[in-house]
A and B are shown apart, each in its own frame.
Chain A
Amino acid sequence: MIRTKVRDASDKQPAISRYRSRHVLSDAALKRLFLWPTLALLISINIFPLFYSLYLSFTTYSAIANQPPVWVGLQNYRDILNDSQLWIYFRNTGRFVLLTVSLQTIIGFGLALLLREKFRASGVITTLILIPMMLSPVVVGLFWKLIFDPSYGIFNYLLGYPAGRGPEWLASKELALWAVVIVDVWMWSPFVMLLCLAGLSAIPDYLYEAAEIDRASSLYQFWRITLPQVAPLLLIAVLFRTIEAFKTFDLVMGLTGGGPGDATELVAVNLYRLAFLGQWNTGKASALAYIVLVIIIAVSNIYIKYLNRIKEG
């Protein structure tokens, strides 16, 4: 199809060369023209702000006060590291990330094993399970509020509690974080599943056939063939999910708003509060933002290194 198109064009060559002589653009110029709008936008929207907030993190400044930033050196960082309240938020976040990522990994992998071999409805089921992932987290959080409602919510009802007697998921300090975890796992297990399915479908059949000939048990096949073969993709999924879980903001805002008390106050939520509500502590918030940024970069790097080692080994 393409070839004929090209040949057609060559018939009209005189017209084209006239066109060409007027608008002559060298490859180098075209390359610059194609690249620079993108890079300029990214530099002005992403890089410049990062330097700006690095500067702000060393100052005392409030965006709503009419005073210029005052340089205070490392004071903000010192305050944050000595703030026992903030450590609670970091601990909440750590617990949340650990729980949600490990549950997603187990459930996602399990779902992938179930849907691995095709059956008549498997395509439809796979697509349907992917729906939650596409939804807006804040809307999902808000809606689960109704589902978790202790008197007329469907969650406790399906668990078999009589109306009004079940646990109050969103009002209890112990359960609220679990509620956020449940919703997050519901939303994102399909993501892990999708990646695992890709990994599973790439395992060559002869590995299993050889194991079958050797009369290897299915458990042995799972440990020695399935798991190692899926591991690289599983790790990519875990990497993505860890980074994303660390950034969780929308879901919590929709579901609990950080409450009750500070039971579900994650670092990202607190960062928002610090920067845009109450005192508008812009300087301190910038410092906290930088700490979060460093943690995210560190986590990404650990995983990427691990991933590369697996690929090589």
Chain B
Amino acid sequence: MPKVEHQGRARAVKTVRVTLAIALCIIYLIPVLWMLSTAFKPREAIVAVPPKITFNPTMEGFVSLFTKRSTLTRMQMEQYQQRTDLSWWDKVALERGLAIIGPSQYVDRVKNSLIIAGISTIAAVTLGLLSAYAFSRFRVRAQADWLFFILSTRMLPPVVVTIPIFLMYRQLGLFDTHIGLILLYTAFNLSLSVWLLKGFVDEIPREYEEAALVDGYSRWQAFRKIVLPQSVTGIAATAVFSLIFAWNEYAFALMLTSDRARTAPPSIPSVVGTAGREWAATAAGSLLFLIPVVIVAFAVRKYLLRGITFGAIRQ
């Protein structure tokens, strides 16, 4: 019976396919898992040859990421060990013969990242929604050209734009300020936000607003009370993509900030301790930095395709 044979073969093919897919997925995730485990490894385990899979987890990496430490002399150490008011992070540092003397720069960098990414996302989504609505509902002269222009701004390599912006910012006193980076990230995210949101607004039937206008709503009220609630999903998805861009951005931050407004990405490479690079701290910093991105990306996975193609492809 050829039919049965055919089915048997199909099942075998499927088993192979599924096994292969799972195996590839695991291989794919090894670097991420390695980062995860390195963040919790003690120093010896990180440089162990051959690489160690099992180890005693420690918070050493996180402690050295968040704190500034100084080496203790033996006498100081004995004094320290007698103290009872030590917190767990003090104890972790003490095991290495170190005392915590304050928070590290990383804390400030992450704070800067949060402020800059947060505000620029809100600004990009707000401005983007307004222009998306205008492009979607009103007749705009040379609409296609404007939209193409908006998209083309995203194609520019950051390094190319930074030279004149650096000079401009220096003149205006915006170099190494939060507002400088916020303006820049807002501008760069606007292309994405206008394109994505225009797609979402286009999908809201015009009839709703027209009915509202007939009922005596003003345009602004119709926008606020009908279009806004209807495009909440689009706004959320757009916000996530803008947030990821601003949160991960490296080139502008490297070239346009030095200390006060520096964000986390350009500073993670410089987490170097007394004994060369502290990989546990680097991994801990990377991990904490990546977790929010993974969570929000997971939340909008349905719109991922739409987001990365600027709304060109809908699924």
Instruction: Tell me the A residues contacting B by CB distance below 8 Å.
Output: 2-3, 5-7, 9-10, 13, 16-17, 19-20, 23-25, 27, 30-31, 33-35, 37-39, 41-42, 45-46, 48-50, 52-53, 56, 63, 111, 114-115, 117, 119, 121-122, 125, 127-140, 142-144, 146-147, 151-154, 157-158, 163-164, 186, 191, 194-195, 198, 201, 233, 236, 240, 243, 246-247, 249-250, 253-254, 268, 271-272, 275-276, 282, 285-286, 289-290, 292-293, 296-297, 300
Contacts and interface: CB of A to CB of B under 8 A. Distances in A.
Contacts of A137: 248, 250
B286 A142 contact: yes
Contacts of A34: 130-131, 133-134
20 contacts: A9-B217, A25-B219, A25-B220, A30-B134, A35-B131, A37-B127, A39-B146, A45-B188, A46-B156, A50-B164, A114-B24, A117-B17, A132-B28, A137-B248, A240-B308, A247-B159, A249-B158, A271-B160, A290-B160, A293-B156
A163 B48 CA distance: 10
B254 to A, nearest CB: 8
B179 interface: no
Contacts of A56: 163-164, 167
Nearest to B207: A2
A135 B248 contact: yes
Interface stretch (B54-62, B75-83, B298-306): B298-306
B301 A130 contact: yes
A9 B150 contact: no
Nearest to A142: B269
Interface in B162-190: 162-168, 170, 183-184, 186-188, 190
Contacts of A46: 153, 156, 161, 187
A272 B29 CA distance: 32
B12 interface: no
Given A41-B183, A129-B28, 19 more contacts: A10-B215, A30-B134, A34-B130, A35-B131, A39-B146, A42-B149, A49-B168, A111-B24, A119-B17, A125-B22, A135-B290, A136-B265, A138-B266, A143-B34, A147-B34, A195-B305, A254-B269, A289-B159, A292-B159
B24 A138 contact: no
Contacts, number: 286
A292 B210 CA distance: 48
Nearest to A297: B155
B258 to A, nearest CB: 11
A192 B140 CA distance: 34
Contacts of A24: 218
A297 B51 CA distance: 45
Given A10-B215, A23-B218, A38-B131, A125 B155 contact: no
A38 B218 contact: no
Contacts of A164: 49
B158 A247 contact: yes
A16 B46 contact: no
B268 A142 contact: yes
Contact of A31 (B140, B155, B244, B290): B140
B211 A6 contact: yes
A282 B163 contact: yes
A293 B160 contact: yes
Contacts of A16: 216-218, 221
Given A131-B297, A136-B250, A191-B308, A157 B50 contact: yes
Contacts of A300: 155
A53 B160 contact: yes
A198 B314 CA distance: 9
Interface in B7-54: 14, 17-18, 20-22, 24-25, 28-32, 34-35, 38, 46-51
Contacts of A253: 250, 254, 269
A125 B21 CA distance: 8
Contacts of A254: 269
A53 B301 contact: no
Among A128, A136, A153, A243, the most chain B Cβ lie within 10 Å of the Cβ of: A136
